[in-house]
Amino acid sequence: MTQTTRFALAALLSSTMLTGAAMAASHVPEGVTLADDQTFTYRVLDEHSSVDPQVVEDVTGSEIVRDLFEGLMNQDEDGNLVPGVATGYEVSDDKLTYTFTLRDNAKWSNGDPVVAGDFVYAWNRAADPALASPYQWFIELMSIEGASEIIAGTAEPGTLGVTAVDDHTLEVKLTSPLPYFPQMTTHATTFPAPQKVIEEFGEDWTKPENIVSNGAYVLTEHLPNERSVRERNEMYWDNENTIIDKTIALVINDENVALTRYLAGELDRTEIPAGQYPKMSQDYPDEATSFPRLCNYYYTFNVSEGGPEAFKDVNVRKALALAVDRDIIVEKVMQGGQPPAYTFTPAAVAGFEPPALEWASMTQADRDAMAKDLLAEAGYGPDNPLEFEMVYNTSDDHEKVAVALSQMWKSKLGVQATLANMEWKVFLEERGNQNFDMARGAWCGDYNEASTFLDLLDSQSGYNDGKFSNARVDELLENAKTADDTGPLYTEVEEIIYDEMPVIPIYHYAGVYMLDTDLGNWPVNNVEQNWYSKNLYKIAE
């Protein structure tokens, strides 16, 4: 056999294998040719805190942990729940007991089976004051029985309300119903931990030479502040559907250097430095990518007893909300690819169906006309101009938005809005004590479910600084805690928000990346940006 034929045969063999993988892996569309080198390289800003699932506290570390370990449930490209180690779960009628069924082919990278006891150990470990996990509070947030007591030190560690009924059945008892509880099992803190390895190596168990993990990848190299490398875990139960062989996270502290290195072809993904999105999207339209994030930006009216009389009139509130040209704010002021907001909850939140609200589809001219009518109806006009003060916390960006808003209101409606900025702590206190007419607000969701936003408008919420109170909203949100299908409830809340307009949604936050065109299946619509290397692939150029 000559040298060339041997090469040709090798190429043929490898391409058949790759096609095989492509056909097996459901996330590669037909007609896509995979690259020979399945290495994904991306930039991280800083050294990660840890790769110990119960210790990690930063985004960078969590990204690595999600590849190395697998929890009960995973997220798909849109943030919806898909099975992980658990094939599914059942919930009792009172929504207080969750029973997860674990797959029987899940293995640790040393070949040991992943059993329910690994989760019991890990969750107790996270709550244990001896570990002093920075994410201890997360276990308490999950409302698991005994969590608060263990954390407070009044109950023995290890007595958390989570039990292994058998190797493949995990039972969790909650203190109160939590509709988003299964979503929380995609969080790194809840991932299983290998007890034997941790006890053998102590704090050194996360070093590449010691670590044993159950995810699609294993940690093979780590030079702090420079790089960490994870490679395919042959023991992973879904290894045959995993395409990326190797993922490299490069620490690049300077974002402009990172962009240069991306443009030189060293990276498949990097963040776009502030203010450069318009230029990048013009120069590299296929690569500059904006994706929604789990945060909103709004102004809230003070509708409490002591608030301004004018804002007690819904027509005034609606007029001001309608007159805001959101396209100008996102395209000319913010320039970061943010989507304009017509609902309080970002549309990309998992399981949330935004209602078809009339103002979202109107032209700005129509909105302006409607705003003028509404304001006239409320009795404000040239001889009786509406005046109020709008406050925001000190920041260049917030100031730009506030100036733009006040100008829009002035030129379109003749409204006199004066601006006032405050330091963050003062701002929070003033807003919390209703010492304002209109105030800036923003909220980043704690979990990927609409209630994390809508709860802010519950009359009982500690963050409802505008003191909006609507009995129907409270009722819907209460029902959502135990409902099987929460979608319609949240949609109705958003409809009420539009009718009552207690807040002016301005835009939803966005993140901006440069994504190489040969990187496939990046979960752009996952608002939490919970991505898994195993779902990505590299396309042949």
Interacting residue ranges for other proteins, rule: CB under 8 A: 46-47, 49-50, 52, 55, 129-130, 132, 136, 151, 153, 203-207, 223-227, 250-254, 257, 260-261, 263-266
Nearest distance from residue 294's CB to other proteins, in Å? 25
Closer to other proteins by Cβ: residue 13 or 152: 152
User: Which tokens sit at 3?
Assistant: 């040298």
Give the nearer residue to other proteins in terms of CB position, either 47 or 495.
47
Tokens of 490: 């949240």
In the complex, the smallest distance separating the C-beta of residue 66 from other proteins, rounded to whole angstroms, is 18
Contact predicate 178/172, CB 8 Å: no
What's the rounded Cα separation, in Å, for the pair 284 and 514?
Answer: 9
Q: How many CB atoms lie within 10 A of CB 504?
A: 24
Which strand (E) or helix (H) includes residue 388? strand 387-393
* Residue 35 or 45 having the CB closest to other proteins: 45
Pick from 446, 343, 338: nearest CA to 400: 338
Q: 175 vs 260, which CB is nearer to other proteins? A: 260
Burial group, residue 11, by CB count within 10 angstroms (0-12, 13-18, 19+):
exposed
Cβ proximity to other proteins, 32 vs 257, nearer residue: 257
Q: Least CB distance from residue 214 to other proteins, whole Å?
A: 19
Assess contact for 344 and 296: CB atoms under 8 A.
yes
Least distance (Å) between residue 251 CB and other proteins: 5
Complex with other proteins: residue 49 or 87, whichever CB lies closer: 49
CA distance 293 to 442: 12
Cβ 11 to other proteins shortest distance, Å? 27
Cβ pair 459, 474 in contact under 8 A:
yes
- Cα Rg of the chain (Å, integer): 26
Distances (CA, A) of 482 to 21, 174, 333, 453, 492: 42, 13, 41, 17, 16
Q: Using the minimum distance from each CB to other proteins, give the nearer residue, 68 or 323.
A: 68
Pairing relationship of beta strands 288-301 and 438-444 according to DSSP bridges = antiparallel
Tell me the C-alpha distance between 529 and 221, whole Å. 24
Q: Whose Cβ is closer to other proteins: residue 205's or residue 299's?
A: 205
DSSP characters over 459-498: TT-TT-TT----HHHHHHHHHHTT-S--HHHHHHHHHHHH
Q: Which is it for strands 97-102 and 169-173: parallel, antiparallel or unpaired?
A: antiparallel
Q: Which is nearer to other proteins, 101 or 206 (CB)?
A: 206
Q: Would you say 148 or 364 has its CB closer to other proteins?
A: 148
The residues, any chain, with a CB within 8 Å of residue 519's CB and separated by 6 or more, are 40, 268, 269, 536, 537, 538, 539
Closest CB to other proteins among 271 and 458?
Answer: 271
Residues with Cβ < 8 Å from 243, sequence gap 6 or more?
A: 21, 22, 25, 28, 34, 38, 534, 536, 537, 538
- Using DSSP bridges, classify how beta strands 217-223 and 227-232 pair: parallel, antiparallel or unpaired: antiparallel
Q: Taking the CB of residue 30, how many other CB atoms lie within 10 A of it? A: 6
Minimum CB distance to other proteins smaller for 269 or for 431 = 269
With 0-12 / 13-18 / 19 or more C-beta atoms within 10 angstroms meaning exposed / middle / buried, residue 88 is: middle
